[in-house]
Chain A
């Protein structure tokens, strides 16, 4: 195949592919598109219902059949705000952001030593990191609790920062390694021989490959820390309680609470929803530990 004819040929294939796809589709395309829309709607419906209920009054929220067209009010959010969400939200923010930063500081050098300039037996190290994710957190819970009790770290947000760091570090090492493995090593070496400073090498060679990886890693670590309930529930109480723990307090045995519960659930989920929607591709990269790029 000569190079001159290649572009023509691909163009030809592209058109026939489209035609053939259209012909071979059974059932016809519009039906499948409609089905995709319906499935998408079914999956998002509970989320929409949560948001809609959060904007209803308590009485409208608890009707059967549902009052979809009832008037909207911010009462649910007022109840949420008056329940004192500032401390739990700040605790969650602190635990998620600080632990994510520490994870990055530990994971990036580790990933460097596992990809760009690998240590001997680096695959074993990788599997050690992954194997720690198989150990159920709950089996280490009692020693952690006793340790916190002894050291006075019970109900202290720094304990959660520490534990979330260890929870996310293995994932981050896997992700960052898979990104740093894409750094062109010859160029890296060439740059250092040419006398390019470390900083310049980092900026021109490593950063373009590593930055998307760092973004994806941060997103995933942030989400997992923000969502965590078991450790937070066990090891914190009134001072260091995080948003997930706070959410459970909205369920009462008497009276109507559905609208304010939905308002709280929406408010607590909002940071994750916004970050996840804004960075959908980073989400996929992160969730697959960097295997999907």
Chain B
């Protein structure tokens, strides 16, 4: 705000070629001057994130088990054949999809309902919001350990402890004491993740609700729209991009989840997801070639899904740019 009186009509220095030099090279220099601040970040990202994948592609065509280094050699596509015929890997693809879709959808629905509850003035609203955020701020591995040992444990976990307390309250000495982890291993992982991700969705949706212009709702109400109609035709369309954003970001992180599967079930009981399976193939089975082929298949699958997902962001993004 140093000079509110001056005009912005004069061209900026970057757009004016410096005098005394041919326009072509000056323009090139100006282009590079523009690009210069971007280069360190771009080069860093390319080197650190893209290079390892190139190496992974190379290794995926090798027959390489680190326990038998003498047998390293070219394997052709045999690793890929194994990937597509391996029942374990198919199971972990399925598990990854089930866990991601369940956690993202349930967190979104719960997050939406809770955000609607919190989008009103009431006593202690700030306190309730703070309470709601807490699960997201617990370190994920700590949360997974907490759920496994302090909540799910069949003999001293809080869940069975509360069942005992409630049954005693009604004079029964024979409360149900389910072994949560073996009876519903996938549900157990999903419950812990939903607990952590619902606050995330709630925060984004609540921010969306609060950015909604109130007078439009008022006008609709005056026109006789009921609460459901207002939600269906005004609130929901407005929230759509926030729901999509939450779904997209949640998916990015939950597809890659390692902490919960690694801790709660150690990939057992049919819960191994892709990150866990690849981790195991690397560091327990030492099958470097096979694990790399799995990694490449995962990357290709992710690219296909991401292309659709990015379309979602890009529509939001264009909206923002045109604003």
Closest to A234 in B: B283
> Is B138 a contact of A196 with CB atoms below 8 Å?
no
Which residues from chain A contact B320 at a C-beta distance below 8 Å?
Answer: 178, 181, 291
> Is A288 a contact of B207 with CB atoms below 8 Å?
yes
> Is A113 a contact of B36 with CB atoms below 8 Å?
yes
> A136-B274, A230-B279, A272-B139 are known contacts. Are A287 and B35 too (CB-CB below 8 A)?
no
> Is A35 a contact of B117 with CB atoms below 8 Å?
yes
In the complex, whether B87 has a CB less than 8 A from a CB of chain A is no
In the complex, whether B267 has a CB less than 8 A from a CB of chain A is no
In the complex, whether A190 has a CB less than 8 A from a CB of chain B is yes
Q: Supply 4 further A-B pairs (C-beta < 8 A) apart from A136-B299, A163-B48.
A: A36-B128, A117-B14, A196-B2, A272-B137
> Is A141 a contact of B279 with CB atoms below 8 Å?
yes
**B185 CB → nearest A CB, Å:** 18
> Is A230 a contact of B49 with CB atoms below 8 Å?
no
> Is A134 a contact of B316 with CB atoms below 8 Å?
no
B: residues with CB less than 8 A from A are: 1-4, 6-8, 10, 12-14, 31, 34-38, 40-42, 44-45, 48-53, 55-56, 59, 114, 117-118, 120, 122-125, 127-142, 145-147, 149-151, 155-156, 158, 160-162, 164-165, 168, 195, 198-200, 203-204, 206-208, 211, 214-215, 218, 221, 226-227, 242, 245, 249, 252, 255-256, 258-259, 262-263, 274-275, 278-279, 282-283, 288, 291-292, 294-296, 298-299, 302-303, 305-306, 309-310, 313-314, 316-317, 320-321
> Is A276 a contact of B136 with CB atoms below 8 Å?
yes
> Is A289 a contact of B45 with CB atoms below 8 Å?
no
How distant is the Cα of A245 from the Cα of B166 in the complex, in angstroms? 37
How does the 8 Å CB contact mask read for A39-60 relative to B, with 1 for contact and 0 for none? Answer: 1110110110110010000000
30 residue pairs of the A-B complex, CB under 8 angstroms, read A13-B215, A17-B218, A36-B125, A40-B131, A43-B198, A46-B158, A50-B146, A61-B156, A62-B155, A64-B160, A66-B165, A117-B14, A117-B34, A123-B314, A123-B321, A128-B45, A130-B310, A139-B296, A141-B295, A142-B55, A163-B48, A186-B8, A190-B7, A192-B12, A200-B2, A229-B258, A243-B139, A247-B141, A257-B149, A288-B242
> Is B53 a contact of A135 with CB atoms below 8 Å?
yes
**A28 CB → nearest B CB, Å:** 12
Question: Is chain A's binding surface mostly helix, strand, loop or mixed?
Answer: helix
> Is A169 a contact of B130 with CB atoms below 8 Å?
no
> Is B118 a contact of A230 with CB atoms below 8 Å?
no
> Is B137 a contact of A269 with CB atoms below 8 Å?
yes
Closest to A190 in B: B6
Closest to A267 in B: B142
**A33 CB → nearest B CB, Å:** 4
> A39-B117, A247-B145, A284-B207 are known contacts. Are A134 and B252 too (CB-CB below 8 A)?
yes
Give how many A-B residue pairs fall within 8 Å (CB-CB): 340
Question: Is chain B's binding surface mostly helix, strand, loop or mixed?
Answer: helix
Interface size range on A against B: 35 or more
> A43-B195, A136-B295, A139-B296 are known contacts. Are A37 and B124 too (CB-CB below 8 A)?
yes
Which residues from chain B contact A66 at a C-beta distance below 8 Å?
Answer: 158, 161-162, 165
How distant is the Cα of A63 from the Cα of B164 in the complex, in angstroms? 11
In the complex, whether A221 has a CB less than 8 A from a CB of chain B is no
How does the 8 Å CB contact mask read for A126-149 relative to B, with 1 for contact and 0 for none? Answer: 111111111111111111111100
> A227-B140, A273-B134, A276-B137 are known contacts. Are A132 and B49 too (CB-CB below 8 A)?
yes
Closest to A291 in B: B245
In the complex, whether A158 has a CB less than 8 A from a CB of chain B is no
Which residues from chain A contact B206 at a C-beta distance below 8 Å?
Answer: 284
**B50 CB → nearest A CB, Å:** 8
How distant is the Cα of A110 from the Cα of B40 in the complex, in angstroms? 8
> Is A139 a contact of B131 with CB atoms below 8 Å?
no
In the complex, whether A283 has a CB less than 8 A from a CB of chain B is yes
> Is A36 a contact of B137 with CB atoms below 8 Å?
no
**B133 CB → nearest A CB, Å:** 6
